[in-house]
A and B are shown apart, each in its own frame.
Chain A
Amino acid sequence: MVAETVEPTTAAPYIAGDEAVLRVENLTKHFVKKRLGRPTTAVKAVSDVSFDLAPGETLGLVGESGCGKTTLSRLILRLIEPTSGRVIVEGKDVTRLSKRQLREFRQRVQVVFQDPYASLDPRQRVAASVAEPLTNSKLSSDEKLRIVHETLERMGLQRAQARLFPHQFSGGQRQRIGIARALSVTPKVLLLDEPVSALDVSIQAQVLKLLQELRDEYRLSYILISHDLSVVRHVSDRVMVMYLGRVVEMAPKEELYTAPRHPYTASLLSAAPVPDPDVERTRERIQLLGDPPNPASPPPGCAFHRRCFQAELVAQKLGDSEVTVLEDGRRVPRTCAEKQPVLVTQDATKHWSACHFPLSREAVATVTA
């Protein structure tokens, strides 16, 4: 295997300029596993990720398990240190903040996790949990309690419920408590890591609607991580698709869902079943082969090339010298197997993709029709 060098991408899918509430620059995290004290393999969890977030914007983040979504959000929250790259919140470089500044920053960027039960202390009354992010503020305890009550009420819960414990609430209510806690410090950015995955559809809709209302009310920006493509479509303005630690496509929601350029995105969309039997039974499906590769030993070239239908299609038209034959006998373009595609945009549509042979609108129509 040839060691590959990654060319730094100077251009990046930024849209907000100085307005940006959050800007992530070439963020990279390689976890180095140590065996007997000696570093062995590095898990390339996040590689060279860049994007920004406009005020009031919701950015959806999708990709298979292990592609680096949670690692990216932990980097943004500075719960872990990046291997390289920067995170800039309202103009300040978070990766260089002092302890005290970090505390202030924590008020600007808050997080809501998937499992509200695991993220709330079972022995703590709800009031204390919700007030937790306010711990270091100079507010009096009366003022804190007032904020707690107001926030809970805004979440559709009752004041009196502040005195209860987490187990006395349903899943949907617990998730609202998680959101109340994140909002008690009036943040600018909310990271939502699978916020509704553990909830039933009817309760999921209640929480999604609440999140949308809060965003409009407080002009919050969201990063919504979800494996549910329907949820992401419903709430996002822009969507970012990750594969094996890298951004492979990023576009305004409508564009991404109707005219994906990256074959991986097209495969994801094609896999999601639609609750309409007439649509489902006539639709062709792209069968995505195999499992995602191991981030400790990513394939050379385009990390997707062993599962990519487009690579096979393109290879059919190429001569033997331009083709690489894979272990299982499938043929892909040599470029796909050897050269890492860079995230680029071909027009000014804010539509970015990292593929040597991006899909055209027509191609998408034929493979998914």
Chain B
Amino acid sequence: MTVNSDRSDVVLDIERLRTRIETPRGVVHPVNDVSLQCRRGRTLAVVGESGSGKSMTFMSVLGLLPAGGTIESGTVRYQGREIDPTDKKAARQLRGKAIGIIFQDALAGLNPSFTVGQQIADVVRHHEGVSRAKAKEKAIETLGLVGIPNPRERADYYPHQLSGGMRQRVMIAMGVALRPQVLVADEPTTALDVTVQAQIMELLDGLRRELGMSLVIITHDLGVVARYAEEVAVMYGGRVVEHGEARQVLKNTVHPYTEALLRSSPRPDADVGELSPIPGQPPNLLAVPSGCSFHPRCHRANGRPECSRDIPLLRSLSPESQLTACHHAEEMALQKVSK
């Protein structure tokens, strides 16, 4: 299933990916039948609550699964060629050069005992095998690219000498040092102030344009989706439950979970009246509810038997670019039209 059948600009193509992790308490599937396409020069947002599988999807692709984790089925293609993320050497080549990643706990990712310039230069040397001096030049150039003033001087700073926003810029510099085709930014602004958040998002958006990258933003902030993403995939319990153009998904959602997310979030620009919290909690992967895994919390299930019996498959609804995994999506769409 794709939102757009034209594949000519698809750089990274994830098809029906299913990942399993063996834990002491049983086998879990944090990524379950996930298909996503990253397109050149475009921004894809992946949203969903904690534990929904956003990070695991890209960790699977990059061969960075935790112990006990494997890809059970599905294919990953980079620039049309199938790749095997479980092949350690291939995965290492892919990381950084083809796909850059800014990890979720980014600030922990910097080594406190090396200067930031050294750390970026190491990435460059490791992949491109250039001289120390060349790598250092590239590091300085990249620090400038991510908007760090006086990069030549700052390259000799240690992480603790920089502010949180500056450190996040350094992490981004590591992610783009090799000028990858795809940049995955996993919650790039979660721990930052709104003002710095805005600066970082503008930076990522600018880099996407400048370097012609495909940008993936993993986030839980629907405002970020609205402002920066062309396309969005909403995940729940390891599955993509709604996928489409950002505008469509946010304005004319055809999945009850997305609808519930929107209704439970206050807004900075308007009074929303009373919030409608989603009852209960996200699913426990060791005991995923039967049928639609959202059914115990869904305000539209109304005890309908198919909801707790059959897993709804992701399918397209008109407009064709919008995909939903809900048995009652037509009903939702109709209600919206009649309103």
Contact = CB atoms under 8 A, between A and B. Distances in A.
Interface in A183-229: 200-206, 208-209, 227, 229
B281 A275 contact: no
B94 interface: no
A187 to B, nearest CB: 24
Contact of A274 (B197, B223, B246): B223
A229 B194 contact: yes
A172 B50 CA distance: 12
Contacts of A74: none
A114 to B, nearest CB: 12
A278 B247 contact: yes
A278 B277 CA distance: 25
A285 interface: yes
B164 interface: yes
A231 B225 CA distance: 18
B195 A273 contact: no
B193 A227 contact: yes
Nearest to B193: A64
A271 B194 contact: yes
B278 A202 contact: yes
Contacts of A329: none
Contacts of B193: 64-65, 227, 292
A342 interface: no
Interface centre among A170, A277, A285 (most CB of B within 10 A): A277
Contacts of B297: 202
B198 A275 contact: no
B206 to A, nearest CB: 12
Contact of A276 (B195, B226, B277, B281): B226
Nearest to A234: B266
A209 B268 contact: no
Given A209-B275, A234-B275, A273-B227, A288 B199 contact: yes
Contacts of A234: 266, 271-272, 275
B222 interface: yes
A267 interface: yes
Interface stretch (B15-23, B31-39, B257-265, B310-318): B257-265
Given A272-B223, A281-B227, A202 B268 contact: no
Interface in B117-174: 163-166
Nearest to B223: A273
- Main secondary structure, interface of A, reads helix
A269 B195 CA distance: 9
B52 to A, nearest CB: 9
A332 B107 CA distance: 35
A230 interface: yes
A364 interface: no
Nearest to A267: B195
Contact of A291 (B166, B251, B268): B166
B223 A200 contact: no
Given A202-B261, A208-B275, A274 B194 contact: no
A271 B195 contact: yes
B244 to A, nearest CB: 12
A274 B49 contact: no
Interface in B209-230: 220-227
Interface residues of A, number: 40
A280 interface: yes
Interface centre among B199, B201, B224, B227 (most CB of A within 10 A): B227
A241 to B, nearest CB: 12
Contact of B268 (A200, A204, A269): A269
A201 B220 contact: yes
A279 interface: yes
A230 B266 contact: yes
B276 interface: yes
Interface in A288-347: 288, 291-292
B250 interface: yes
B282 interface: yes
Nearest to B284: A170
A75 B276 CA distance: 35
A356 interface: no
Contacts of B251: 276-278
Contacts of B331: none
A350 interface: no
Interface string A167-181: 000111000000000
Contact of B267 (A209, A274, A287, A291): A274
Contacts of A205: 264-265, 275-278
Given A287-B198, A288-B199, 11 more contacts: A64-B196, A200-B282, A205-B265, A209-B274, A234-B275, A273-B221, A274-B226, A275-B226, A277-B227, A277-B250, A287-B202
Interface of B: 49-50, 163-166, 193-199, 201-202, 220-227, 246-247, 250-251, 260-262, 264-269, 271-272, 274-279, 281-282, 297
13 contacts: A64-B193, A65-B164, A203-B277, A205-B264, A206-B277, A229-B268, A234-B266, A234-B275, A277-B247, A280-B227, A288-B195, A291-B165, A292-B193
Nearest first, the 5 closest Cβ-Cβ pairs linking A and B are A273-B223, A234-B266, A205-B277, A202-B278, A275-B222
